[in-house]
Amino acid sequence: MNGRTMRRLLIFTWILTLATSLADMGTPQTALAQTIVDEWNLVKVPPAPELKRVTIVPKGSALLVLDIVKQTCPPRPRCVASVPKIRGLLTQARGKGVAVIYSLVPGGSAADILMEVAPQGGEPMVTSGPDKFLGTDLEMILKEKGIQTVVVVGTAAHGAVIYTASNAALRGLKVIVPVDGMSAADAYPEQYTAWHLLNAPRVGPQVTLTRSDMIQYP
């Protein structure tokens, strides 16, 4: 091997070593083999969404009160804290003639609904898992009442609220979610639910996030 060939080989070896070292140092951080689990602690929380004031037209609107029952709510302090907000929404909705619909967890009964937000006057209820449209007549009830807008409250945020609200949106309904009326065992599922409802394809454009005291009627 002559001197020129030797120099070329040394230069090539040096370049290869440098490239390998840079890769080992994690530069850049977007290696194809990387997963969200690897990046878990690097993920930045998105900015908080803007809560919007909404005016609800009573005719064609319904308040969905999801799983505020003894099986799911009392074990979650955040749910218990939301009950007065939901009660206020119920009082306001009933006073304006808004339809009210309840949901139960499988195996539950009307007697399981917390007394503070109990049904009145034969208000309908459905029983299902997280998606209250699945295996129930909720869609038929909404259609028969001419409902075009639903206000969704309940627990868990990442269960009944996210699935029912999303499927209402996918059915073309306008969805209003008062964030102080949805709850989970801790804050993260509520945060994720709020983000998801505003950003999920075909769901986000149908959803408005608000707060119970930002809802009014004409």
Residues spanned by the domain of 194:
54-216
Q: Are residues 118 and 167 in the same domain?
A: yes
Residue count of the chain: 218
Percent of the chain whose pLDDT exceeds 90:
83
The pLDDT tens digits of the residues spanning 131-178 come to: 999 999 999 999 999 999 999 999 999 999 999 999 999 999 999 999
Task: Categorize the per-residue pLDDT at 48 as very low, low, confident or very high, splitting at 50, 70 and 90.
Answer: very high
Q: What is the pLDDT of residue 27?
A: 46
- Is a pLDDT exceeding 70 seen at residue 4? no
Q: Are residues 110 and 31 in the same domain?
A: no
Q: Are residues 115 and 30 in the same domain?
A: no
- Domain harbouring 159, CATH code: 3.40.50.850
The domain tally of the chain equals 2
Q: Are residues 31 and 82 in the same domain?
A: no
The pLDDT tens digits of the residues spanning 71-121 come to: 999 999 999 999 999 999 999 999 999 999 999 999 999 999 999 999 999
Q: What is the mean pLDDT of the chain?
A: 91
Q: How far apart are CA 80 and CA 208, in angstroms?
A: 24
